[in-house]
Amino acid sequence: MSEPFVDFQTHPQHYRHWRLDVDGTAATLVMTVDPDAGLREDYELKTNSYDLGVDIELRDAVDRLRFEHPEVKVVVVTGGLEKIFCAGANIQMLAGASHGHKVNFCKFTNETRNGIEDASANSGQVWIAAVNGTAAGGGYELALACDEILLIDDKASAVSLPEIPLLAVLPGTGGLTRVVEKRGVRRDLADAFATRTEGVRGQQAVDWRLVDHIAAASDWDALVAARIEARAATSDRPANAAGVTLTPLERAIEGDTIAYSVVTVEIDRTTGAATINIASPEGVQPTTGEELAAAGADAWILRTVRELDDAILHLRFNETDIGTWRFTTTGNAKAVLDAEAVLGADTDHWLAREVRLLWARTLSRLDVSARTLIATVEPGSCFAGTLAELVLAADRSFMLEGTWEDADDPPPPASIRLSEANVGWFPMANDLSRLGTRFWGRDDALAKAEAAVGADLLAHEAANLELVTFTPDDLDWDDEIRLMVEERNSFSPDALTGMEANYRFVGPETMETRIFGRLTAWQNWIFQRPNAVGPDGALQRFGTGSRPVFDRKRV
């Protein structure tokens, strides 16, 4: 069965699986999955199991809580079915999904859970999982993304990661990594936990560090209320600020063109490439947090990142054959720098902080996308500050030396300008800036690049600072880029994905790099093995009453 077109835009009024209630400084997000509202028609979302559609709504709720509800200091996520918190990813959905969809689904749910952790760590909006019933597999992984886990002690409710014994796959959204790295569960206990289908409940779950607090049913509401009060007291979210409505994005899809208000995507199916262009702002942009709040979703710095994020997700899920993404920009570099200045000038303002964090998450989504990334810097480009991050994120970059000599009125040569945004506003998964990652282990080169902040760098200057890969002149420009794109299209996409992922994250490992670099790679492999997905594999046999047949050779 072919995968359906996926649209990542939604709104609480259209949710089929979640209910969002806001009461003062606390919000409650209740998971009550509609079994008949899956993205495909060949499965039912029973027992609060989820598919991509459920997580699209969750991601929307995470973002709206951060932007539209600055007064909310604590978010409680809980189950809306009796004795069920969440049964995890829907097995029939996984069994019938294409390999690519399974991997993309796991990656997106990981990113959504990273967004929850980012809210708790950096936005003062702490997430608490009130596990009021069984939390299995992805259900427990959702709880693991929260800053605290509360478990009802009713002698039946348990937390579990049963994927290995039941499905012959790994927990798909970071569970293994978060158990040992975030929760601090001992390795031997984690091993026992991940191979115990019935899970762990009650005091043992506390003793093993799988949950933080338990309470009997009679004391459950009191425990939840107490934890809300305690965590709200530590938050710096403003009490009386007005939120910013995340209005629907302007987007038109016509043939091979996807047009937003600022971002445009042009797809060339012959070469398997998409050109993603970002235009600089027009008009005066906000300079203070209050002006940013007044402009809301119309502010260029917020509108652009939302459109870029949607374009990345659209290409990931709906254009899986397009393996090369080329980034271009058009407009005025100074206008870009003026628009981003509010993120550095008013760092204490809640909205400036949220926009900056959203840019960091979106650029990280770009980093972990399994696509070749190219940036091309030409006369008329505006790769400055925040948009210069696209050059630093690229696997290969080209910058025109000089200008278009055969033009009747040759434009000024291309330039790049770094700003404070490139020094540390947008850390990668390895907790380094993209400049720091580029020059890992070479402090002198990093210092020279950072010293160039604020300067308009021509091609030879950018090359001397090692900020771009190649600087062809106008005679070779078109051929150099064409050959690179055609060459990329001739290589194995599998090998390219592996190569790019190995090159992008140098330096220290973090929980995030382990999840995307180690867990995703293993899951990608396991999802293709007959032990999991073959006709006698565990995903196909699950629920049939027949045991799977395994190839016993270790590889």
The residue annotated as part of the active site, out of 71, 117, 141, 401, is: 141
- Residue 257, both tokens: 């063109």
Distance from C-alpha of 475 to C-alpha of 484, rounded to nearest angstrom: 16
Long-range Cβ pairs for the range 226-230 (8 Å, 24+) = 227/128, 227/148, 227/150, 228/26, 228/74, 228/76, 228/128
* Pair 285, 338: CB distance under 8 Å: yes
Q: How many CA atoms lie within 13 A of 217 on its CB side?
A: 7
DSSP per-residue string spanning 346-384: TTTSHHHHHHHHHHHHHHHHHHTSSSEEEEEE-TT---B
Query: DSSP labels for 464-526?
Result: HTT--SB---TTTHHHHHHHHHHHHHHS-HHHHHHHHHHHH--S---HHHIIIIIIHHHHHHH
Q: Please name which of 252, 381, 393 lies closest in space to residue 310, comparing C-alpha atoms.
A: 252
Query: 260, 249 in Cβ contact below 8 A?
Result: yes
* Residue with the two structure tokens 């996926």: 6
Cβ burial 281-320 (10 Å sphere, 16+ → b, else e)? beeebbeebeebbebbeebbbbbbbbbbbbbbbbbbbbbb
Task: Work out the angle between the directed axes of helices 52-68 and 99-122 (0-180°, nearest 10).
Answer: 20
- 282 included as an active-site residue: no
Backbone angles phi, psi at 328, to 5 degrees: -130, 160
Q: Is 512 a catalytic residue?
A: no
| Contact assessment for residue 382 and residue 390, using Cβ atoms and an 8 Å cutoff | no
What backbone torsions phi and psi does residue 200 show, to the nearest 5 degrees? -130, 140
| Active-site pick, 163, 340, 401, 512 | 163
Q: Are 139 and 149 in contact (CB under 8 A)?
A: no
Instruction: Compute the distance between CA of residue 478 and CA of residue 163 in angstroms, rounded to an integer.
Output: 50
Torsion of CA 495, 427, 171, 64, to 10 degrees: -120
* Cα distance between the two ends of the chain: 30
Structure-block tokens of residue 342: 């509010």
d(C-alpha 523, C-alpha 300), whole Å: 38
d(CA 452, CA 458): 12
Other Cβ atoms closer than 10 A to 206: 16
Contact present, 527 and 533 (Cβ < 8 Å): yes
Selection from 143, 16, 22 nearest residue 79 by Cα: 143
- Distances from the Cα of 516 to the Cα of 8, 429, 431, 435, 540, angstroms: 21, 9, 14, 21, 26
- Tell me if residue 24 falls in helix, strand or coil: coil
Catalytic (active-site) positions: 141, 163
